[in-house]
Amino acid sequence: MNLLMTIQQLFNFTDFITGLVFFIMGFIILLQYLQYKHLSDLKIVKKIWILALFGLFQGLGQWVAALMPISLAPHVPTYLSFWFNLWQVILNTVSYCCLYWFAVEVMSLVLKKNGYLKFSAILLTFIWLLIFLLTHSLNWILWLNTGLTWSRFLLALPGSILAALALNMEAKEFSSVGMPNIVNNLYGAIASFCLYAISCGLNPPKAPLLTFFSGYWYAAGADILRTVAGLGMAVFLIRVMEIFNIENNKKLAAAQHREAVLQERLRIGRDLHDGVIQSLYAIGLSLEVASNNLDISLPKSKQILDNVMDNLDATIRDIRHYILDLTLPEGQAAKWPENVRALVEAFADTGIDIQLSYRVAGNTLNLDAHTAQELQYVIKEALSNAARHAQATRVQVNISKKGDNLDIAVIDNGVGFEIEELGDDLLSGNGLRNMQERVENLGGEFAIVSKIAQGTEVLIKLPLK
């Protein structure tokens, strides 16, 4: 018991706990500010660091007060006690200045005109400094206590009231986030600032009109209220800081949504390019062939036109598919061999001699709808390139299953090109780049082999799962 009383005489636990509460509050707010200052759209975020400084300096000032009994112990030099008291006054006054300045800055965000508010902060700080210097002739203990008391009365009291008003004005901005719990915690912080103002008002300077507030009970009550107010500020403000996480998560979700929309647009554009557009181009070539053969062979021209009508109907169905539901047609995988044969027949009407070699025993590919459709697009793009760019007259399409791999080769006898000369420009066009991306997204390998006047080979190797 005697040891406990001795410790209590040498160390003020109340001031230590109060200082710990304020310091933790300031530290957490400062960390949140450093993390979200460039991410948040809330105006108050730009000024929250000032409130963090209030918490940090207030915590340090309370810790100095907690160690004050040590400086008053016997055999401790007087100058040490003086410096303890002086640092307590300096740290607390700086914290009160930060509190007042924070309130001024936040109110300025709402009121826009802030000249008189900033002037009031400078004026009150100057008045305190003037009082502090004029009372220097007093006993040093009385001098420093007077300075501390006046700093609370001139800066902390109006600063906490203004901070409560400023946060109340900012409540609408916080309400826009749509989180009522955050707003409730904000009002809890406002109540804590009001309680802190009361604690500062209970211990006014010893002026003639304020002497009825003096006495031990008022000072003790002020200390208790200050501790409770500090605890309320820490709890509520730390919970208010959750708004930054909420705001950041909303921005992240919006960015992910935009990315998803962009990817979907790219997918639709790629599918239209490799599907509908190539089909329309094949139809155009077929019509040109039919027109050239009208005078030579009317039955052949009629047969080509009939095929063109069938292909046009299929293309219209594809367009309707993109417009209405943008989903893969049912049975796409099961019909893949038939779809490939139909694709080859459609390009055969363009006047190119196309041969299909399909060497897959039974239906052992086990392709899903997405894979089947992607492979169709790749083959269609390869055939279209052979017809449009390669000026080919003959194309061989080889499809075979070798072990656990599906091998596809589209070989034409066109003009060809030198791959080494094209370099990075080889895949600069939409068609070739789309082909490569489709195959690689399926986990396969894509290659092009070509030489001038020796044709082009498009090679695909796809592992079957």
Residue 332 CB: number of other CB atoms within 10 A? 17
pLDDT at position 383 is: 82
- Of the chain, the percentage scoring pLDDT greater than 70 comes to 64
* Three-point CA angle 111, 116, 118, nearest 5°: 90
Measured distance CA(395)–CA(356) in Å, rounded: 9
Average pLDDT over residues 213-221: 58
Q: Is the pTM of this model over 0.75?
A: no
User: Phi first, then psi: what are they for 357, rounded to 5°?
Assistant: -115, 110
- Range 226-242 burial, b when 16+ CB lie within 10 A, else e: bbbbbbbbbbbbbbbbe
Regarding predicted confidence, which is higher, 76 or 339? Answer: 339
Measured distance CA(434)–CA(273) in Å, rounded: 9
Model confidence over 269-278: pLDDT tens digits?
666 666 666 6
User: Phi first, then psi: what are they for 38, rounded to 5°?
Assistant: -100, 0
Regarding predicted confidence, which is higher, 138 or 407? Answer: 407
pLDDT exceeds cutoff 60 at 132: yes
Model confidence over 322-343: pLDDT tens digits?
555 555 454 455 577 888 887 7
For the chain, what is the mean pLDDT?
76
Q: What residue ranges define each of the domains in the chain, with the CATH number in brackets?
A: 2-240 (1.20.1070), 255-463 (3.30.565.10)
Average pLDDT over residues 117-132: 88
Average pLDDT over residues 97-124: 84
Instruction: DSSP letter for 274, please.
Output: I
Average pLDDT over residues 432-458: 86
Sheet holding 353-359, edge to edge: 353-359, 394-402, 405-412, 456-463, 445-450
Regarding predicted confidence, which is higher, 360 or 284? Answer: 360
* Three-point CA angle 321, 323, 328, nearest 5°: 35
pLDDT at position 183 is: 78
Please, which pLDDT band fits residue 305 given cuts at 50, 70 and 90?
low
pLDDT exceeds cutoff 50 at 32: yes
pLDDT exceeds cutoff 90 at 252: no
Please, which pLDDT band fits residue 90 given cuts at 50, 70 and 90?
very high
Which range is most confident: 193-197, 322-326, 351-355? Answer: 193-197
Least confident piece of the model among 207-211, 360-364, 368-372, 421-425? 207-211
Please, which pLDDT band fits residue 66 given cuts at 50, 70 and 90?
confident
Model confidence over 153-165: pLDDT tens digits?
889 999 999 888 8
pLDDT exceeds cutoff 60 at 8: no
Average pLDDT over residues 9-34: 80
Regarding predicted confidence, which is higher, 427 or 353? Answer: 353
pLDDT exceeds cutoff 90 at 53: yes
- Range 23-42 burial, b when 16+ CB lie within 10 A, else e: bbbbebbbebbeebeeebeb
CA distances from 168 to 103, 233, 364 (A): 11, 14, 70
Pairing mode, strands 456-463 and 405-412: antiparallel
pLDDT exceeds cutoff 50 at 209: no
Which amino acid is it at 28?
I
Residues 353/318, Cβ–Cβ less than 8 Å: no
pLDDT exceeds cutoff 70 at 358: yes
- Of the chain, the percentage scoring pLDDT greater than 90 comes to 6
Regarding predicted confidence, which is higher, 315 or 65? Answer: 65
Please, which pLDDT band fits residue 144 given cuts at 50, 70 and 90?
confident
pLDDT exceeds cutoff 60 at 208: no
pLDDT exceeds cutoff 50 at 5: no
Which amino acid is it at 201?
G
Q: Biggest alpha carbon distance in the chain?
A: 125
pLDDT at position 387 is: 75
Measured distance CA(23)–CA(21) in Å, rounded: 6
pLDDT exceeds cutoff 70 at 289: no
pLDDT at position 126 is: 92
Please name the residues in contact with 247: beta carbons below 8 A apart, sequence gap of 6 or more: 36, 39, 40, 41, 42, 177
Residues 375/367, Cβ–Cβ less than 8 Å: yes
Average pLDDT over residues 292-319: 65
pLDDT at position 9 is: 45
Residue 19 CB: number of other CB atoms within 10 A? 25
pLDDT exceeds cutoff 60 at 212: no
Measured distance CA(314)–CA(320) in Å, rounded: 10
